[in-house]
Each structure stands twice: as structure tokens, then as C-alpha cells.
Amino acid sequence: MHSSVFNDVKTRVSQDRVEVFRSRLRVTRGWKCYFRPFFLVAFFLVALFFLRLAISVTSFLFAKSRVTQNFVNKKVWSLVISFFGAPRSNT
């Protein structure tokens, strides 16, 4: 008799857990589901702003420095070649 009572309680508890999960799922499908994409878009826009700020500060520093852009291009190109290898010729 004890085992049947235990099984009934166990079944009831598992059904309650399923119902709680389903109710939480219903809540996340409501207005809160639009809340997460808002934060993702806001994070993306803030990251884009800081990237643009870093690019503008870097270009301003290059404009004020004595290092020419040609020198920087040669250094960047040599880094690219050392990392990826020399480009192949079509001939």
C-alpha cells in the first residue's frame, strides 16, 4: 500500500513540475520575448559605437603622427603575408 501512495505522490509532483514549466514557457512567449532581442540589438549598437570610436581615434592619431600611411600599409601587408602566406600569381 505504501508503494502505491508513494507512486501517486511521485506522479502528482512530476505533473506539477510539468505544469510549472509550461506556465513559465507561456510567460516567456508573451511580452518578455520581445525584451531579449531589444537587449541584443542595444548591445550590438553599443559595440558598433565603440568600434567606430576606436577607428576614428586611430585615424586621428595617424593623422597627427609622423608615421606615413604607406609605412603602415607595408607593415600590415607584411603581417598578412606572414600569417596567410604570399598571394598566388595567376600566371
- Residue 49 grid coordinates: 559605437
Q: Is residue 91 part of a domain?
A: no
- Residue 36 grid coordinates: 531579449
Q: Is residue 41 part of a domain?
A: yes
CA-atom Rg of the chain in angstroms: 30
Range of the domain at 24: 2-84
* Per-residue DSSP letter, 31: G
d(CA 51, CA 73) in angstroms, rounded, equals 20
Residue 2 pLDDT exceeds 60: no
Residue 23 pLDDT exceeds 90: no
Cα end-to-end distance, the chain, whole Å: 88
Residue 49 pLDDT exceeds 70: yes
Q: Is residue 13 part of a domain?
A: yes
pLDDT in tens, 66-87: 666 677 778 888 888 888 777 7
8 A C-beta contact, residue 69 and residue 62: yes
Residue 29 pLDDT exceeds 60: no
Q: Calculate the average pLDDT of the chain.
A: 73
d(CA 19, CA 90) in angstroms, rounded, equals 66
pLDDT at residue number 13: 59
- Number of separate domains in the chain: 1
